[in-house]
Amino acid sequence: MSNEKNAPLWQQLLLTAQALSDVQKGQSANQVLEKISSPLRPGVQALLFHVLRRLGLAQTLLKKLAKQSPQKPVEALLCTALALACDEKALMYPPHTLVSQTVDAAKKSRLLKNSAPFINACLRRFLLEQDALLKEAHTLLLAQWNHPEWWIHQHQKDYPEQWQDILLANNSPAPMTLRVNTKRMTVNELLKIWLDAGMPSTPVGEFGLVLHQPLPVHQILGFLDGLCSVQDLGAQRAASLLKEQLHQKPIKKWRILDACAAPGGKTAHLLEIMDCEVLALDIDDRRCLKINENLQRLGLQAKVVTADAQDTDVWWDRKLFDAILLDAPCSASGIVRRHPDIRWLRRESDIAALAQQQSRMLESLWPLLAPSGLLLFCTCSVFHAEGQDVVQAFLTHNTQAAILPSPGHLIPKITGARGEVQDNAISDHDGFFYALLQKTD
């Protein structure tokens, strides 16, 4: 296949369908896209993400158009085309062009060429009966919200008044937010540099700038020089929460553990805004390399160790920490806007297993904390099972732990407050959970 940037649409559709098929087999979109040549990757990624955000509707329509389930490669190409054709408000191509190019894609594929007439018939029937088919499809939760039904039901349980807004937010792209390295310059200084260069942005939070037009990082002025890093506004809360509390303690230099540190965004932010020494752990060698690369780009230093955070006998030097940041493994249900494949890769049974892992990590790391020390527990999940439920269970069984004022579940585009651990969204950010715990004397 050609590697030219201006690849014909049929080729991009074929590559997108192949990528979708791989995601449905369990591979992440990042893994799948890495296989595609660099010149073609941005276009295929845009198509794939568009399809993944409408996959539930496309699957529902296909069941109504085909009496029997087609073979997987045929299903992937048809779902790709239907997802691109079903949303009149976000059409990327004229419908008849899309149909003809999809049929061309089938004809040019060894696996699909015999199915070209069937694909053509399905898509042309969709164009003829579109209104009726869409009306009927939208009576089903999967088609209406483009999330697995178990995911929808869990949001309905956790957020009875907000679940629709969360799912809507998940189906729209996230903003490109960057964190300014305030060791080097102020937010306003970088904002002006960007504005003068034709890169307008808007300040958010204490350290953030949102680009009005997303760009590849190598095109962002100052990125390669360490003046900024890509980091969602919700993720930027971690370092700020620790700084606010630690600065009330008379310690010259704080000793902090970042227990699941890769790719290093929160480690770097701590070093940018505080006088501290940080031990950054990650279980994967390649991910630790990414931490070091980011620190080097920003001109920062931390001790980076490859280790399982729970296996404290292997890596801990028996010196207690003033603070521990535990950004625990989770379903990543809060970052679906950036990674629309996550909703289709996760299984319902994953949530309980991840929550158990989070609880084990809390129990393993708590003894490493100095008296009056702080542990910030966070996940990029909006499921209560991976946030407030884990923390409340930990507090119930640990009399040495007290919760300080904490953001709780940060919900994309939603403002609210509930219970001891508050839900509080102040801007357009990813879904997160934060609970700040203190070890009592």
Q: E strands, 140-271, where?
A: 176-180, 201-204, 208-211, 228-230, 254-258
Backbone angles phi, psi at 310, to 5 degrees: -75, -20
The amino acid at residue 372 is: S
| Cα 305 to Cα 374: distance, rounded to the nearest angstrom | 21
DSSP state of 341: T
Closest of 246, 224, 284, 202 to residue 375, by C-alpha: 246
Strand partners, 180: 228
* Catalytic residue status for 260: no
| Cα 374 to Cα 361: distance, rounded to the nearest angstrom | 15
Helix, strand or coil, per DSSP, at residue 257 = strand
| Cα 47 to Cα 58: distance, rounded to the nearest angstrom | 14
Query: 333-361 b/e with 16+ CB inside 10 Å = b?
Result: bbbbbbbbbbbbbbeeeebeebbebbbeb
DSSP state of 114: G
Helix, strand or coil, per DSSP, at residue 218 = helix
| Residue from 79, 276, 378, 380 carrying the catalytic annotation | 380
Q: Is 320 exposed, middle or buried (0-12, 13-18, 19+ CB in 10 A)?
A: middle
Tokens 């732990």 belong to 401
DSSP secondary structure, 122-134, as one string: HHHHHHHSHHHHH
DSSP secondary structure, 134-162, as one string: HHHHTTSHHHHH-S-HHHHHHHHHH-TTT
**If phi over 0 gives left and psi between -120 and 50 gives alpha, with beta otherwise, what is residue 264?**
left
| Cα 170 to Cα 431: distance, rounded to the nearest angstrom | 10
User: Annotated active-site positions, please?
Assistant: 380
